[in-house]
Each structure stands twice: as structure tokens, then as C-alpha cells.
Amino acid sequence: MSIKEKYALTDEGVRNVKLGAAWTTVANLVVFASVGFVYVIMSAIVARLTGEPAVLGPFGELGFDPLSVPMVGWIVAIAVYLAVLFVCERLAYYYQYGVIYKESGRQRIALAERLRKLPLGFFGRRDLADLTETLMGDVKTTEHAYSHVLPELYGAYATMAIAFVCLAAFDWRLAVASMWSGPVALLMLFGVRSKLQPLMHRTRMAGLKTSEYIQEALECVREVRATNQEERYLQHIYKSVDTAERTAIRGELATGLCVNGAQIVLRLGFATTLLAGATLIADGTCDFLTLFCFLLVVSRIYAPFDQALMLIAELFSARTAAARMKSFFEEPLADGGTEYSPSGHDVVFEHVGFAYEQDGEKVLEDVSFTAREGEVTALVGPSGSGKSTCARLAARLWDVSSGRVSVGGVDVSTVEPESLLADFSVVFQDVTLFDDTVMENIRLGKRGATDEEVLAAARAANCDEFVSRMPEGYGTMIGENGARLSGGERQRISIARALLKGAPVVLLDEATASLDVENETKVQEALSRLLAGKTVIVIAHRMRTVMNADKVVVLDDGRVAEQGHPAELMERDGLFARMVRLQRESAEWTL
């Protein structure tokens, strides 16, 4: 597997890792070159003391006497050396850390782009905390591994290999005695990786579970307080924090044990160099100067490797994080053509079957009906009969399991969701509002709409009445998810958005459920004025609101029980007539 796949990097990221590793290697080698300096000076001193010519190991006689070089020459040489070292370190640093934030930015954008195109089914399977963790936490984990570990580790490999070749040229026996420990330490760590990785995965999952519980408690804080469940929720969170802590400690201990073991093996290389050197000197096949320089090199060469070993656990955990990121890219997309030219906007369901889960229970079975352009089609039926599901399928928020949904003759499954949704205005039961002003929340319906257009839509949706009571009118901030608004007010903002968008197909799901009678009448008037000529699909529980529809489709347990004009259905005296009667009776009840 390439590093691109292993660590979910972009092409640019792979290039930067390679450049980072290359410059780290060069910087390491420049540091080792200082040992060459020491060797040259030492051999010159030895030559002075013994009266023999100064030699440079296997390269023969030195050819000049470094001790006769004037002080200024040494100062210049040291200055040049430091300048080269600075440039190399600077470049290594730049490719390790300087460009990393661009890479994590690219990763996050790629993930967000992918999320935008994934079908809603994916979001049903993955929890919000899980998705946030991937976008923020997993990217951060790979970002750290990518900046701190990968270039360092690959640089250490390359440095070791080059240093081995250079040292072997001096004395291959000492080179083996000093370098064996690096590969063995690495092999040890990679050998236990298959044991460590599941531990890290478990630690990550335990942390994620805790985030999920905390997020759920915060999201449901109103319900939790209203039902006196704080204690129970806190116990739940304490327990999961405790589990996460224990899992993390277990993972850290195991990782620490393996990393420390590998570091000890690495340092054994120093002892074996000393031992082999002493033996070779005793045999007379090696001189003290060579051994001295080997010891110097070995003490330096282990430093970057030691550092990489300390961080290697992060590399293993980055593999888990990268695998989670990759899972986004392996999900099938809800794609399709962007060119979409329907003839008219009739929405037609033909023998549609649907289940939310693959192989799950069908919530729609053989559903066929047509919502005509210029007409209001009302979907009614008992709770859970599949009305909202039909609306979602029409806008391709989900894909049908069987049959076909078309808009203006075009099968919606062949159209890219974003292009298709441009033709839909949607008002769902659960209105999503953003922590912004009322004006901006309405403007979401149509990007670039003028203030006048926004205000006209707001007025038509009856927003004026409650907005005028707000301190800054349409410029008032409404809090996170409109926390400061009542259910009815939220819905009216959502209706205003739909009106502003003015798309040819309108889906109203329980659009008037949270409005009082006076408001509901006003909104109904506004809707009927403004929705003229559009394909309107309304989901309403209250029979009163669907009596004016052109067509009613009655769903029962995922099937079409009956359909037709409301008056026709009343005459037929079927499920629709029964529902209308029941609602009339309940409306007459008093407490």
C-alpha cells in the first residue's frame, strides 16, 4: 500500500512528505559531516605526534595538513558549514511543518466535499460526533503523524542507509556492529504493530463514545432537565469517561513498553560498537581513531532515529484515523448528471418501494401517484404511514429501492442531487436555523436575494408580526438553531425561505403544524397565492388543511390506500373519510 493510501494524503501531501524526508536526510548528513571534520583534525594531530603522514581512512593520505590552515580559514569553513546546515534544516522544517496546514486544509475540504455528495442514508448510519471527529480529530491525528513522524522516519531510514555505506568504506565490521540495532528495533516495533493497532483503535472508539454521550446530553439538555434525568445522564458519561481512560492507559502502557524496548535495542548498538572496536584494536586490525569516530557517528545517528521511534505509535494511530477518513471516500455517491431539463414539473411515483436500511423493512411498497404541476397534492395517512418518506424520495434525499420517481419525465436518480434540489423548495417538520440574523436565515432560501425580496417573502409568510417585536427586527440574532424562537416562528421563517426560493416544486411537510389558527389561516392564504402554478406536495395531519387540495393521496402502512379529489374520497367513505370524521369529532372535544 502506498503512503498516499496508508495516510489518506493528497498528491501534494505525498510530494511534501518526500521532500521533507529528503531534506531531513540531507540535514542529518550535514550534521554527520562534522564528525568528518573531527576525523580530519584528529588524524592530523595523530600524524604530528607519530611523525607519520595524516591519512583519511580508506581514502589514503590527506594531502594537506589541516593544522597548518590559518585560523581565518577555519572560521570561514565553520561559517560555511553552519550556513549550509541552517539552509538544510530550514528546508526540512518547511516541508515538515510549514506546508502541513495546507495539507490538512486540503484533506478537510476533500472530506467536506465528499460529505456534501453522500446520500442521507450515510448520515443515518454515522453519528454526528463520529463525523465531526473524522473531520477534526482524525485529520489532526494524520496531520501530526504527517508533520512530526513521516519525514523524520523516512529521513532516518535514508540517513542510516547512507551512513552505513560510508562507515562500511572505513570498516565494514564496525559498520555492522554499530548499525544492526536500527533495523532490529524497527522490525520489533512493526512486528508488534498488529497487536498495538487494535488497542489504539479501541482507545479511539472509547473516546468517540464519550464525545457522543456528551454531545447527546448537550443536544437534549431541555428534555434531560424536563425529565429529571441529569443524574442518570451524568452517570452514563462518567462511566464512558472511565472506560475511555482505562482503555487509553492500557494502550499507552502497551505502546510505551514496545517503544522503550525498541529504544533499548537501538542503544545496544553503541555497546556492540565499543565491544567490536575494542576486540579489533586488540587484534591490531583497527585503530583507535577509527573507533573514536564510529562512536561519535553512532551517538549522533541514533538521535533522529530515537525521535522517530518515540513518535512511531502516532504513526500507527494515524493509520486508524486515515482508514476512517478513507471510509468516506469508499461510500457510494448519490451522483448523476448536472444537466437537467425536465418537461414541466409533474412529480410521478411509479411502483415505488423503499426501505431506509439495505435489507431492512420496507416503509413504502408499490406506491404510484402523480402530483401535477399547478396542483396541490396532499399526502395524508396515519402516523408512520410513509408521507414524509415520499417527500424525501421526490427530492432525492434518499434513493428508491425499487420503481421510479420522476420530475417532468426525468428519473430523479439520474440527476445530481444539488441540481435537482434547485427545483425544490422544502419546508420540513424539523426546521434548521443558523446562529445568524432573521434576515440571513431567510436569505438562505435564495443566494444573493436582495433585502426587499427577503422582506417580501417574510411578510408573505407572516413573519412581520413576531419580528417586529424583536429588539433589532430582521437584524436580530436568533441564537444557535433558532433557540430563541417558538416552534411556530421557526416554521414561518422556513416558509419564508421556501417562498423566497420560488422553486417550481414545493414540498410542505407539516408546514402549518405549529401555527395557531389565526396564523395558519394567514399562512394558508399566503401559500395559496404564492404557490399558484407550482407542483405542491403537502403533508398535513389536519384534514381541514387538505380539503382545498386538488388531489389527496392516502397512505396506509406504506401503501396507497386511495387517491383522488377530496370530495370524491369523502363520497367513497374510505380511510380518508374516516380520518376526517375522527378529526372533526376530536375537534369538538373539550376538557
Q: Which residues bind ligand ATP (CB under 6 A)?
A: 124, 356, 363, 381, 383-389
Q: Please, which residue, 201 or 392, has the CB nearer to ligand ATP?
A: 392
- Spatial neighbors of 343 by CB under 8 A, at least 6 apart, are 408, 409
Phi and psi of 539, rounded to 5°?
Answer: -110, 115
| β-bridge mates for residue 377, sequence order | 537, 551
Question: Pairing relation of β-strands 551-556 and 559-564?
Answer: antiparallel
Shortest Å, Cβ 384 to ligand ATP: 4
- Compute the least distance from the CB of residue 399 to ligand ATP, in Å: 13
Task: Choose between 27 and 553: whose C-beta lies nearer to ligand ATP.
Answer: 553
Least Å distance between CB 381 and ligand ATP? 6
In angstroms, give the least distance from the CB of 378 to ligand ATP: 12
| Residue 143 or 365 having the CB closest to ligand ATP | 365
Instruction: Identify which of residues 363 and 433 has a Cβ nearer to ligand ATP in the complex.
Output: 363
Query: 385 vs 491, which CB is nearer to ligand ATP?
Result: 385
296 CB burial (10 A radius; 0-12, 13-18, 19+): middle
To the nearest whole angstrom, how small is the minimum distance from the Cβ of residue 377 to ligand ATP? 15
CB of 380 to ligand ATP, least distance (A): 9
> Which DSSP string do the residues of 249-308 spell out, in sequence order?
HHHHHHHHHHHHHHHHHHHHHHHHHHHHHHHHHHHTSS-HHHHHHHHHHHHHHHHHHHHH
Query: Residue 211 or residue 389: which is nearer to ligand ATP going by CB?
Result: 389
212: CB partners within 8 A, 6+ apart? 127, 129, 130
Closer residue to ligand ATP in complex, CB, 230/357: 357
CA 551 vs CA 346, 351, 380: distances in Å: 13, 18, 11
- Cα-based torsion angle of the residue sequence 484, 488, 493, 496 in order, rounded to the nearest 10 degrees: -170
Which of 292, 331, 370 has the alpha carbon at shortest distance from 120? Answer: 331
Closest CB 349 distance from ligand ATP, rounded Å: 13
CB closer to ligand ATP, 209 vs 392? 392
Shortest CB 385 distance to ligand ATP, Å = 4
**138 and 318 Cβ atoms separated by less than 8 Å:** no
Pairing relationship of beta strands 362-371 and 424-427 according to DSSP bridges: unpaired
Cβ-based neighbours of 150, under 8 Å, separated by 6 or more = 3, 7, 17, 20, 21, 315
* Pairwise CA distance, residues 397 & 121, whole Å: 9
Minimum CB–partner distance for residue 382 and ligand ATP (Å): 7
Q: Which amino acid is at 390?
A: C
565: its cell numbers = 379529489
Rank residues 139 and 397 by Cβ distance to ligand ATP and give the closer one: 397
The nearer residue to ligand ATP, 207 or 558, going by C-beta atoms, is: 558
Quote the distance between the C-alpha of residue 266 and its chain's center: 37
**Residues composing the chain:** 591
C-alpha cell at 26: 540531507
Nearest approach, Cβ of 541 to ligand ATP (angstroms)?
6
Question: Which of these, 413, 415, 424, lies nearest to 391 by C-alpha position?
Answer: 424
- Distance, first Cα to last Cα, the chain: 71
Q: Which of 187, 174, 150 is nearest to 298 (CA)?
A: 174
> Considering beta carbons, is residue 128 or 165 the nearer one to ligand ATP?
128
411 exposed, middle or buried (CB, 10 Å; 0-12, 13-18, 19+)? Answer: middle
Taking the complex as a whole, the smallest distance from the CB of residue 543 to ligand ATP amounts, in Å, to 13
Cβ-based nearer residue to ligand ATP, 104 or 385: 385
Single-letter code of the amino acid located at 20: G
CB of 105 to ligand ATP, least distance (A): 32
Our CB check for ligand ATP shows the closer of 297 and 364 to be 364
